[in-house]
Structures are given as structure tokens and as C-alpha cells.
Structure 1
Amino acid sequence: MYSLAKQLAGRMKEIIEIESEIAEAESVSKGEQVVRNLEQKRSDLIKTFTRDELLVIKTVMNVGRSERGYRHYFDSDDVELIYLSIELNEHELMKKYSHFLVHKTKQELADGIEYHTLVSSFLKEGMEILKL
């Protein structure tokens, strides 16, 4: 599974890049149509992945979401990232975080990635933790 994650690193970066374009378009108010086109581009990219590839991407996201600590402040929207020590190696992390995902269909995995609002940040963290 980890070797497939290494192969998919470039395509995962494409998803991150499209999401940064979406965020930029929303921040400078380029228009709803531009944002919708970018969201469609991301959706089309996600649909090109196989079930196994989607399983790997979702696993990388789960590693990024769960292997770090987060401190939320009640008086602001700021979130502080806490760098916890990681005791498992890359293969063990992939196995741990894919355990329950193996029961999901391709459509469930694609929807879970497509409709998640923090895909980029979780993918970046997961890729950093897994050294992809």
C-alpha cells in the first residue's frame, strides 16, 4: 500500500494544487462560475482514480488528520498544530489507518474525498508524515 502511495504522490499534489486554486478564486471573488469549474476539475480528477488508489488517498488523509495534535482556541478560528512524536513506520501507519476503509466502495471513498473541506491540509500533513 505504501508503494502505491509513493506512486500517487504526484496526483495527490494535483488535488492539493486545484484546491489551492479554488481557495484563491474564492478569496479574490473571481466569480462563482470560476469556482464551480475548478470544483468540477477536482471532481473529474478524483473520478479517474481506481478504488485502490482512492483507498490509499483516503488513508493518507487519515494519517494527516490523526497523527498530529490540534489545539483549537475558543475565542478565534485559529488552530495550532502540535507535532506529536510518531512511533509507527510508514507501512504500519498505512495499515492502521486503512483498516476500516477496506469495506468502503469506490463511490463512498470518492465522495469522502470530494466532499471533505480539509482535503488539502490533511493530504499535505499525511504526505509529510509518510515522507511522500
Structure 2
Amino acid sequence: MAKLYINKGGYLLLYSLAISLTGRMRAIMEIESEMAEAKLSHLGEEVVRALEQKRSDLINSCTRDELLVIKTVMNVGRSERGYRYYFDRDDVEIIHLPIELSGPELMQKYSYYLVHKTKQELSGGIEYYTAVSEQLKEGMEILKL
């Protein structure tokens, strides 16, 4: 794949790449779902470690550009909604604010600082983050992927 150069038309390319990566993002979310089920079912450390390794391998098999897009979708999911936290309970309410920007515009807004990160920084930022599935799901919904 050609290296992404972010210019005026480059954000359309980012959005197109996001569309093509929906399967990979869903695969990451599925593995994390399996990990959560394995932990709840007490299937053992080896099963959980195997799933963690599978997730890590999937993330590390991505190119830098693919990681940039995945991290951007996560950022959209984390930042484009409102959240209400309650002091007397642990749950968080998502406030569905109106989305005024298009998909490519959102990709531009949330990838702005990520374009300077290396592949290792991007993969580490995804691999070691605990709310990847939640943010990917929200980001994909917002971007209509």
C-alpha cells in the first residue's frame, strides 16, 4: 500500500481505508469479546493469554497507515460523544450529541496529531489500551462504517 500523505484530498483516502478496515476492526472487537467471556467463565490463564496473543498478532500485522486509521476511528469514538458520569455508581451514560462533520472531516480532525507517530507508538497505543472495543464500536457507528 502506498504511504499516506495527508493533504487536502488525503482525508478521503483515510476514510476509504477506514471503510476497507471494518473487517479487521470487527475482528479486534470479537477477540476482545472472547477475552472478556473467557475471564468471566474462568477458562484459565492460558486461554486468556492465547487470546491476548491473537489480538496482539492481529494489531501488529497492520501497516502503520492501517494503525493510524484504526487509532483515528478510536479517537472519534472516544471524543465525538458526550459522557455523563455518576458519583454514586460505576456506569457511564453516553450522550448522543449531533454529529455535524462528515466522515472524512472527522478523520481529518482526529488524525491530526497521529500522523507524526511511528508504527510502534500506534500499535502500542492500541494494544495496551483497555477500551479499544468500546471506542471502535462508537467510532464506527459515528463514521457509519
| TM-score (structure 2 length as normaliser) | 0.90
Return the offset for 1:75: 1.2
Counterpart Cα distance in 1 of 2:22 and 2:73: 10
Q: How many residues align?
A: 132
Task: Give yes or no for the alignment of 1:48 onto 2:96.
Answer: no
Return the offset for 1:74: 1.0
- In the alignment, residue 141 of structure 2 is paired with which amino acid? E
Structure 1 stretches of 4+ moved >4 Å: none
Task: Give yes or no for the alignment of 1:5 onto 2:54.
Answer: no
Secondary structure (helix, strand or coil) at the match of 1:5 reads: helix
Secondary structure (helix, strand or coil) at the match of 1:49 reads: coil
Counterpart Cα distance in 1 of 2:40 and 2:60: 26
What pairs with 1:91-130 in structure 2 (closer than 5 Å)?
A: 91-130=104-143
- In the alignment, residue 120 of structure 2 is paired with which amino acid? Q
Counterpart Cα distance in 2 of 1:116 and 1:68: 19
| TM-score (structure 1 length as normaliser) | 0.99
- In the alignment, residue 76 of structure 2 is paired with which amino acid? V
Aligned to 1:29: 42
Query: Max radius of gyration: which structure?
Result: 2
Aligned to 1:83: 96
Could you give the per-residue CA deviations for residues 15-65 of structure 1, whole angstroms, max 9, x where no partner exists?
000000001111111111110100000000001100000000000000000
User: Please, which runs of 5 or more residues in structure 2 have no aligned partner?
Assistant: 1-13
Secondary structure (helix, strand or coil) at the match of 1:70 reads: strand
Return the offset for 1:70: 0.8
1:67 to 77, 80, 101: 80
- In the alignment, residue 60 of structure 1 is paired with which amino acid? V
